[in-house]
Structure 1
């Protein structure tokens, strides 16, 4: 547990709570590494069968901390590419993409950027009725990440995903359910209880069977996810290196 991530166990269900409510649970390097480490620990813990992701306060997560992203863009534009910079993001996406057990999300509020793309790695998603999701990448002059360019069309259908990715418009909870990004919308006050109820039902099954089933689910898409991430990383780096990229990203702060 860290100051930015809270870990709660309920039998074989482990809940990871993004805990930077003052920053809409945006991911800085500390939270990236903490969440990645928590997922790796859960993967190797025989007492954990299901992991549930959620956020503290009013937001699920605002994605990557915009201030840090603008700083990375300035460094790229100036030719100062630090290999360690952004390593937490890579570690978290590695952990999400390869998580060997059932992974759930209870989207308690706004999910922006990684807050929507990480849902493609989740096996079951519940969303609060008031919650909204946004993929703001094009407006920021960059591209989707975390294999979102592959997983979102696969989950939502091409047209729904394309509209979300091209426009950066909000996706309501109702729309997320209708296109298959979420299983159901739930009143906010009942969200965690319902999500944990499903998680407990899953966790009651033999762990070996759950792990084997998850591997069968992951196997057909594992290589596609890897290739999508490589394409996204290359495009992201190229666009970050363009003049004015830091300004477009920093403009989101307003």
Structure 2
């Protein structure tokens, strides 16, 4: 991980830890380094008694472009050729496990575009605030793949069946207004005040006794744990089948 020491930035204030994706040259896209960095940071925050709430955001004007397609295309090419691609997806799986298991309130300050994982990770966040100019995109069908990160379950849960189907089937952009109206986000804020508004809400939550927050988060999330795991297993199986499709790797490279 030393090759990208700033893949993730960390800042603590008033029992709130802000984790900032920091790959602005790649629109904060997730590669193995960032997957593992965020998974580790979430585990650290979960174990830190001085942290009550975590906020996720992105550096610059982008929240996250999702999975790094350059890295993904390399994996897909190796897989299609029957070659070893290492432990493909290890970082992705580690991050999803960390998100699903995170025991404290998790907020997102979506400061710009969120594509792929930049959208689907919001299903694991307890409260989502978006910049007024932000847009979200589920590009999976256009890429020839399927939804990821349990989003085939989490997006209908958050947005309702119709709005989730529209987003997943068509790959249309979701505006900040639409995200709020569908229930995917709590509110939209001016970009210049988004992070501070999110911190104010996080600070209000963090002022509550931590044992009560932990117990409440457990009660809110426990009913969905098994359904998320089953959705991820179905998604992984479908993705594996499509990964063997001729031309998928070339198609991914064309999008880089």
By the TM > 0.5 criterion, same fold? yes
Regions of 4+ moved over 3 Å: none
Listed as ranges, the matches of 1:88-107 within 5 Å are 88-107=91-110
Correspondence for 2:75? 72
CA deviations on 1:115-173 (whole Å, 9 max, x unpaired) are 00000000000000000000000000101111000000100011111111111111000
Correspondence for 2:252? 249
Shift of 1:82: 3.5
Deviates further, 244-253 or 157-166: 244-253
Distance in 1 between the 2:75 and 2:178 partners?
A: 33
Kindly indicate whether the alpha-carbon contact (under 8 Å) linking 1:101 and 1:214 is maintained by their aligned counterparts in 2.
yes
Count of aligned residue pairs for this structure pair = 253
Listed as ranges, the matches of 1:32-71 within 5 Å are 32-71=35-74
1:111 aligns with 2:132: no
CA deviations on 1:47-103 (whole Å, 9 max, x unpaired) are 110000000001000000010111111111111243512211110010001100000
Distance in 2 between the 1:81 and 1:229 partners?
A: 23
Correspondence for 2:16? 13
Kindly indicate whether the alpha-carbon contact (under 8 Å) linking 1:104 and 1:125 is maintained by their aligned counterparts in 2.
yes
1:170 aligns with 2:208: no
Q: Unpaired segments of 5 or more residues in structure 2?
A: none
Other structure's SS at 2:227 match: helix
**TM-score relative to the length of structure 1:** 0.98
Indicate the RMSD between aligned Cα atoms, in angstroms: 1.0
Kindly indicate whether the alpha-carbon contact (under 8 Å) linking 1:9 and 1:15 is maintained by their aligned counterparts in 2.
yes
Correspondence for 1:149? 152
CA deviations on 1:13-70 (whole Å, 9 max, x unpaired) are 0000000011100001101100000000000111110000000001000000010111
Other structure's SS at 1:96 match: helix
1:140 aligns with 2:143: yes
Shift of 1:251: 2.2
Distance in 2 between the 1:97 and 1:249 partners?
A: 28
Listed as ranges, the matches of 1:144-223 within 5 Å are 144-223=147-226
Other structure's SS at 2:149 match: coil
Kindly indicate whether the alpha-carbon contact (under 8 Å) linking 1:2 and 1:34 is maintained by their aligned counterparts in 2.
no
Shift of 1:4: 0.7
Correspondence for 1:125? 128
Kindly indicate whether the alpha-carbon contact (under 8 Å) linking 1:76 and 1:240 is maintained by their aligned counterparts in 2.
yes
Other structure's SS at 2:242 match: helix
Other structure's SS at 2:6 match: coil
